[in-house]
Structure 1
Amino acid sequence: MFKYTYRYFLFFLLLLAGCKESEVMPRNSLTLEEEQLLLGNPSGATAEKSNQSNYLITKPQYVLSYSRERGTPNWVSWHVTQDWLGTADRQDDFRADPALPEEWYHVTASSYRGSGFDRGHNTPSADRTKTAADNSATFLMTNMIPQAPKSNQELWANLEDYTRGLVRQGMEVYVVMGSYGRGGTGSNGSAKTIDNGRITVPSRIWKVLVLLPEGNNDLERIDSSTRVIAVDTPNTNTVRTDWGTYRTTVDAIEEATGYNLLSRLPEKVQQVLESQVDKGLTR
């Protein structure tokens, strides 16, 4: 009896050792980094310093493609489940990301100061509240874009709340969010760049969400009937607060960005899901 008890104890210790960066357990036999990028790498980003406009950064909490020239992520990909939602406080520890090559310019917590634009999260703080470390990871500046305050605090906050509400009702959601273009309008008026030209202000902000009932083998469970929400909004302070009015197709976002979204799905499933405008509830 002692022999088996000892084996179970060792197994438990190994599980704990594998959760140093995040206490969230990986799902479907994937690493946490693989979980965040399950639906594909939209731009074919790589972790090579020479790839300055499409530099891949992987974290347990999210995965992103970063542009050195723009000083922002091109896109960020993450997975929202009840496992990720806990009681950790909002850390508010905005800071430079040490994952960037040392010789690159590092956007800092003060880089947006006085710009009239919010430090707009891609992966929301409230999507990562399992632990303080998970929440803190969302405040790295590689997860931020210059976002008009009304866009950030109202329209996108409404969509983020809606997403977490679905998760609390038993859904799980795969999300990819990004931005493109040049020039937005914040509380101080229009601007194409901030931080002495080192950070580009995007003109458009988009998001794609794939919704599933909570379960396993997620990739295999996505079919032509799966609900997919695609949204593309202007980055202005006059944006409407109802995100549903900005719904579009995944195809339209791909055409605007040049990305290949949902690339790990079968081609026939992609064709159906990417051509449809969602007509589901928005609250």
Structure 2
Amino acid sequence: MSKTTLAIIAGVSAAAGAGAAAAIFSSRRQRDTFPVPQSTSHPPSTTTSSAPLPAPVTAPRPLKEIVPPVDPNGLFQYGFPGPISDLNPTLSTTSAFDRRTRNPAWVAEHITPASLLANNADRRHSYFVEDESIPSKFRARLDDYRRSGYDRGHQVPAADAKWSQDALDQTFLLSNMCPQVGEGFNRDYWAHFEDFCRRLTNDYPSVRIVTGPLYLPRKDPEDGKYRVSYEVIGNPPNVAVPTHFYKIIFAEDGKTGGNVSLGAFVLPNARIANDKPLKDFEVPVEAIERASGLEFATKLPMQRRRRLCDEVHCSIIVREYMDRQKNLMGDSPTKRSLPR
């Protein structure tokens, strides 16, 4: 990932000025500083003075309680405008839906060695379906993807939920989908990345993953300004095509209060060569937080955090698409630990 992309992800604008990138990527919060008031008193004089003593300072009168002549909160008698995130827990996922983009804001999953070894489901019995838990006027529809040129891209992959047919079926809800480039991304590099996440369970007893879309600005070559621009599909067009996708990985050591290895990655929604190093897409968690407006690890103390790519070798293994599909039909992938 280029320095320009990292700057965009972190929210650095063209007008930020020198040194802004360092400030943006710092995990420390800026603190406002205030001038220390200087004392107006003077040390006692050794000489007598005929100047009169200052008058005593009287306390200000309390302000009268203001009774506004208007009540803007009265709007709530007709309903709360939002935003509403449509929090949706299923057997295999927990997600929050973005009604504006008709895409999930984030989808969380949990995988373990035992959950991935269980083969109690068959993808051939699963079908893409609209999520009826989301109001009709806001949900993505099957027709929105038809002839769009994009795949219905799983945020939580079906291969992570083979422990139950119901769990597998629920990964096919459109609330778990975003429009993704097919060849070169969803069916290739993104799938290899999902396989990397599964292989982490060979080294960690518990792995939690949050996945979601991003809509990042690009620099206009004509005027040099940054703008957010993305395609919208459907009829009427209302399903946004993300410019990028993120994954944040919490690899837990399994101990109460133990260490958590964090990995954060941002990939463009575009063809990616299979020889592209995965570490090129690694970013600070804070960069994804700034770009998404979300927070992911506020309750994880710094002393418990480890950098995932310092613990394991962050790299993909290229496997042919048909072989992956065969595994989704019930055959277990070869158990293989990540090199350290």
Deviations 1:173-220 (A, max 9, x none): 110111121799xxxxx961100321000111110111124x364xx2
Q: Does structure 1 retain, via aligned residues, the 8 Å contact 2:89–2:95?
A: yes
CA distance in 1, matches of 2:190, 2:285: 18
Match of 1:204 in 2: 244
- What does residue range 148-187 of structure 1 map to in structure 2 within 5 Å? 148-149=181-182, 150-168=184-202, 171-181=205-215
Deviations 1:35-84 (A, max 9, x none): xxxxxxxxxxxxx9853453311223111111111010011111111332
Is 1:114–2:147 an aligned residue pair? yes
CA distance in 1, matches of 2:284, 2:308: 5
- What does residue range 236-251 of structure 1 map to in structure 2 within 5 Å? 236-237=270-271, 239-241=272-274, 242=276, 243-251=278-286
Deviations 1:4-28 (A, max 9, x none): xxxxxxxxxxxxxxxxxxxxxxxxx
- Shift of the alpha carbon at 1:139? 0.1
Partner of 1:142, secondary structure, is helix
Partner of 1:119, secondary structure, is strand
CA distance in 2, matches of 1:120, 1:160: 12
Distance 1:53-1:203 versus aligned 2 partners, 3 A rule:
farther
Aligned length: 219
Match of 1:67 in 2: 98
Match of 1:257 in 2: 292
Q: Does structure 2 retain, via aligned residues, the 8 Å contact 1:183–1:200?
A: no
Of 116-125 and 54-63, deviating more is: 54-63
Is 1:194–2:233 an aligned residue pair? yes
Distance 1:194-1:269 versus aligned 2 partners, 3 A rule:
farther
Is 1:78–2:115 an aligned residue pair? no
- Read off the aligned partner of 1:205 and give its amino acid letter: F
Match of 2:169 in 1: 136
Q: Does structure 1 retain, via aligned residues, the 8 Å contact 2:88–2:94?
A: yes
CA distance in 1, matches of 2:82, 2:246: 23
CA distance in 2, matches of 1:111, 1:49: 28
Match of 1:39 in 2: none
Q: TM-score, normalised by structure 1?
A: 0.69
- What does residue range 14-93 of structure 1 map to in structure 2 within 5 Å? 50-52=81-83, 54-85=85-116, 86-87=118-119, 88-90=121-123, 91-93=125-127
- Shift of the alpha carbon at 1:277? 7.9
**Structure 2 runs not aligned, ≥5 long:** 1-78, 219-228, 317-340
Deviations 1:143-198 (A, max 9, x none): 000011122111111111112122245532110111121799xxxxx961100321
CA distance in 2, matches of 1:208, 1:127: 16
Runs of 4+ in structure 1 over 6 Å off: none
- Shift of the alpha carbon at 1:111? 2.1
- Shift of the alpha carbon at 1:119? 0.4
**Pairwise CA RMSD:** 2.6
Q: Does structure 1 retain, via aligned residues, the 8 Å contact 2:145–2:151?
A: yes
Partner of 1:145, secondary structure, is strand
- Read off the aligned partner of 1:193 and give its amino acid letter: V
- Read off the aligned partner of 2:270 and give its amino acid letter: T
Is 1:221–2:258 an aligned residue pair? yes
Partner of 2:279, secondary structure, is helix
CA distance in 2, matches of 1:56, 1:107: 16
- Shift of the alpha carbon at 1:142? 0.1
- Shift of the alpha carbon at 1:221? 1.7
CA distance in 1, matches of 2:217, 2:231: 4
Partner of 2:198, secondary structure, is helix
Match of 1:20 in 2: none
Distance 1:170-1:206 versus aligned 2 partners, 3 A rule:
closer
Q: Does structure 2 retain, via aligned residues, the 8 Å contact 1:174–1:210?
A: yes
Is 1:126–2:159 an aligned residue pair? yes
CA distance in 1, matches of 2:231, 2:158: 26
Distance 1:94-1:72 versus aligned 2 partners, 3 A rule:
same
- Which has more radius of gyration? 2
